[in-house]
Amino acid sequence: MSSSFTKRDFKDAAYGQMARLGKALASPKRLELLELLCQAGRSVEALAVETGMTLANTSQHLQVLQTARLVETSKNGRYVEYRLADTLVSNFFRSFRLLAENRLAEIEQIRRRFFNEEGELDPIDRETLLERLQQRKAILIDVRPANEYAAAHIPGALQIPLEQLKKRLSELPRNKEIVAYCRGPFCVLAKEAVDLLRAHGFRAARLEDGVPDWFAQGFPIATGDEPVRKHVSRAQ
């Protein structure tokens, strides 16, 4: 009765372990880090820049995620690359986000506030996109940084990181709708791309899916640096 492993001990221990994961998910910044790592692994500094945190703070948050076994590291020279510990984590993170979107109406409000502020229309849905792509009425561009495209992208998507978009507008057809996607519904790259494209007279729309969403819906994904040439935009 004294030192035995009781029912209560067992439950406390089991749920205590589960709570380790919960604690890792209890900070906005850690969630932002996780979402970035769902796109591609990267260095602490890159993550710090993306999230607007100091290096030390980023490092500590990453260590919390690592302690919860959600991410793992490898050392490349003097860089430490953090990446997801398992693709299971990416799937889980997606269902976590979906639960949040479903249960917390505030998220929809926040999104509306940001995306509709400047006249951004509703995003295009998967089915409409596929249809228009097949009819060659639209082309799809991936506006994330190059390394994320290399890690995984939607097959057939043209790679134009947002930072290059302005210079490469001539590569895009004016007689088609340009659909931009980025990391997912909380990422602003596609919105900025659409704003830029519209400002230059293109018809443009945003796809809310990120690569993990696309993949989770059963669609294929591609990897590697698909070399981008002029004719690729025609091949779309």
Partner DNA sequence: CAAACGATCAATTGATTCATTGAATGTCTT
Partner DNA sequence: AAGACATTCAATGAATCAATTGATCGTTTG
Q: Find which of a copy of itself, DNA, none residue 163 binds, CB within 5 to 8 Å per kind.
A: none
**Closest approach of DNA to the CB of residue 59, in Å:** 3
Applying CB under 8 A, the residues found at the interface with a copy of itself are 5, 7-8, 10-29, 31-32, 35, 52, 68-70, 85-86, 88-89, 91-92, 95-97, 99-100, 102-104, 106-107, 110-111, 113-114, 117, 186, 188
Residue 221 interacts, among a copy of itself, DNA, none and using kind-specific CB cut-offs from 5 to 8 Å, with none
Active-site residue list:
182
Smallest distance from the beta carbon of 31 to a copy of itself, in angstroms? 5
Alpha helix stretches (DSSP H) within the chain = 7-24, 28-39, 44-51, 55-67, 87-103, 105-115, 126-134, 146-151, 162-165, 189-199, 211-216, 230-235
Residues 2-34, buried b or exposed e (16+ Cβ, 10 A)? Answer: eeeeeeeeeeeeeeeeeeeeeebeeeebbbbbb
Q: Indicate the residue among 49 and 121 with the shorter CB distance to DNA.
A: 49
Beta-strand pair 138-142/158-159:
parallel
DSSP letters along 145-195, please? -HHHHHH-B-TT-EE--HHHHTTTGGGS-SSSEEEEE-S-TT--HHHHHHH
CA distance readout (Å), 55 to 7, 24, 50, 58, 85: 43, 19, 11, 5, 21
| Nearer of residues 52 and 220 to DNA, judged by Cβ | 52
Give CA 21 to chain center in angstroms. 20
Residue 131 CB, nearest approach to a copy of itself (Å): 29
- Interface with DNA (CB under 7 A): 23, 26-27, 29-30, 43-45, 48, 53-57, 59-64, 73, 75, 77-81
100 contact choice in DNA, a copy of itself, none (CB below 5 to 8 Å, kind-dependent): a copy of itself
- Picked from a copy of itself, DNA, none, the partner binding residue 85 (CB below 5 to 8 A depending on kind) is a copy of itself
Based on CB atoms, which residue is closest to DNA, 11 or 112?
A: 11
Q: Shortest distance, CB of residue 229 to DNA, whole angstroms? A: 31
